[in-house]
């Protein structure tokens, strides 16, 4: 079913573009921390604020957490996110070097285990590093991917983390990026939380959601800016 859904979504939205150069894993991780509970435009601004102020992430070792908080205010939850970033940088420094290049040699399970051991970094954030920076065939599960995969009937799980493990158990090769990215777009523009626009949904024939909202045929606003596909372009 995943392959069929992927094909239908590519027909509808196209094959999502990727940067030719994969972003640095630590850049990607910090951008993903900033993206928690906000939109991609706001978190991208906060990320650019940090990148333009500091030439390298190890400079944050000597910076007060409150200064980081001020710079990333536009992303929301700035106190919590600045704690997570400061804690991450401090922990990497204690391991020897403020970068994450070493996880390129880790398998998926080991990389997720390490990244989620840092405070404020969950399975979704860790799996974004795997997909967007290490080019692993792993599909991160945010609120949109959780909602849409459960409505369509690909999985039947109660939480995003449970959906992640169920979905990725036997994930078909080579399609994680297009599947993940187009499902987010579906969730933002058509399969919205309260009132899905089932009347214009390309998946209406195969979707198992029992409460389809077929009367809603208005087209959703196009929202295709993806933060994590743009992190590499500002290195």
- CA–CA separation, 77 vs 11, rounded Å? 37
Segment interacting with ligand SF4, rule: CB under 6 A, options 57-65, 118-126, 163-171, 204-212: 204-212
Of the candidates 55, 97, 124, 162, the residue annotated as catalytic is 124
Q: Which of 152, 154, 175, 226 binds ligand SF4 (CB under 6 A)?
A: 152
Question: 207 to 226, contacts with ligand SF4 by CB under 6 A?
Answer: 207, 209, 212
CA dist list (Å): 17 to 178, 182, 225: 9, 11, 11
| Nearest approach, Cβ of residue 175 and ligand SF4 (Å) | 18
The residue among 173 and 210 lying less far from ligand SF4, judged by its C-beta, is: 210
CA dist list (Å): 31 to 124, 141, 154: 13, 16, 29
Contact 86, 65 (CB under 8 A): yes
Segment interacting with ligand SF4, rule: CB under 6 A, options 58-66, 83-91, 173-181, 188-196: 188-196
The residue among 196 and 232 lying less far from ligand SF4, judged by its C-beta, is: 196
| Nearest approach, Cβ of residue 174 and ligand SF4 (Å) | 23
The CA-based angle 69-70-71, given to 5 degrees, is 95
Q: Which two tokens stand for residue 131?
A: 């997909």
Q: Which of 120, 160, 196, 220 binds ligand SF4 (CB under 6 A)?
A: 196
Contact 98, 92 (CB under 8 A): yes
For tokens 């626009």, name the residue: 197
Q: What amino acid positions are annotated as catalytic residues? A: 124
Contact residues toward ligand SF4 (CB under 6 A) are 148, 151-152, 190-191, 196-198, 201, 203-204, 207, 209, 212
């Amino acid at each position: 079913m995943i392959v069929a859904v992927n094909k239908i979504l590519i027909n509808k939205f196209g094959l999502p573009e990727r940067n030719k150069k994969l972003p640095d894993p630590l850049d990607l991780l910090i951008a993903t921390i900033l993206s928690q509970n906000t939109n991609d435009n706001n978190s991208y601004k906060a990320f650019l604020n940090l990148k333009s102020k500091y030439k390298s992430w190890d400079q944050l070792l000597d910076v007060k957490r409150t200064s980081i908080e001020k710079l990333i205010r536009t992303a929301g939850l700035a106190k919590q996110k600045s704690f997570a970033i400061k804690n991450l940088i401090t922990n990497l420094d204690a391991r020897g070097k403020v970068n994450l290049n070493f996880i390129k040699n880790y398998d998926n399970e080991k990389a997720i285990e390490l990244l989620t051991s840092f405070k404020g970094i969950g399975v979704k954030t860790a799996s974004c590093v795997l997909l967007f920076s290490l080019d692993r065939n792993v599909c991160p599960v945010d609120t949109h991917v959780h909602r849409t995969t459960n409505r369509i009937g690909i999985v039947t799980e109660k939480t995003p983390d449970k959906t992640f493990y169920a979905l990725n158990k036997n994930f078909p090769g080579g399609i994680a990026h297009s599947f993940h990215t187009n499902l987010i777009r579906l969730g933002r523009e058509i399969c919205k939380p309260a009132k899905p626009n089932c009347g214009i949904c390309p998946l209406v024939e195969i979707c198992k959601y029992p409460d389809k909202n077929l009367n809603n045929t208005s087209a959703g606003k196009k929202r295709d800016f993806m933060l994590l596909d743009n992190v590499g372009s500002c290195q």
